[in-house]
Amino acid sequence: MLKRLTCGLLLLLAAQVQAEEAAAPAQPNNAYAYYALDPEIITNYITDGSQMGYVRIKVEIMVDNNADLALVEKHDPLIRDALNRILGKQTAEQVRSLKGREEIRKECQAKLNQLLVEETGRKLIRELIFTNYLYQ
């Protein structure tokens, strides 16, 4: 009798575990991760007159997984330097227009991926996002 009761409980427990696994949402293989460059990047850009123009951006970098996140974090100084160089050579017209802003974002993403391929052997950045973009 005890043996039958134990078998019945084990079958019930197995059925419950199986039902919970089926009800749980499937975990994606690629859990995207984000790396925020903190503090924000502030640099000058090229202006026509005697006044200095500056741009201040907050950047989020989207990667495919946590391993890539660790590599991006490791290369933070290289990333910051590249972004400062790219932003510093932009004209006021490029910085102030929506089309120019998107072109700058794409240029930054392409350059960072190029540098990270040189350093790590593979493309790490899935998307580069300007979450804050101010200019004066």
Quote the CA–CA distance of 3 and 135 in Å, as a whole number.
77
Does domain 33-135 fall into CATH 3.40.50.2000?
Answer: no
Quote the CA–CA distance of 34 and 129 in Å, as a whole number.
10
What is the residue extent of each domain of the chain? 33-135
pLDDT of 70-90, one tens digit each? Answer: 999 999 999 999 999 999 999
Predicted TM-score (pTM) of the model is 0.75
Q: What percent of the chain has pLDDT over 70?
A: 78
Q: Kindly compute the dihedral angle of the four CA atoms of residues 79, 82, 88, 90, in this order, to the nearest 10 degrees.
A: -110
Residues 6+ apart with CB under 8 A from 95: 45, 53, 55, 87, 101, 104, 135
* pLDDT over threshold 70, residue 6: no
- Strand-pair category, 125-135 with 41-45: unpaired
Q: H or E segment at 4?
A: helix 2-23
Region 4-32: mean pLDDT is 57
pLDDT of 25-64, one tens digit each? Answer: 444 556 899 999 999 999 999 888 888 899 999 999 999 9
Please give the pLDDT value at position 49: 81
Q: Kindly compute the dihedral angle of the four CA atoms of residues 69, 72, 74, 77, in this order, to the nearest 10 degrees.
A: -150
- Strand-pair category, 41-45 with 33-36: unpaired
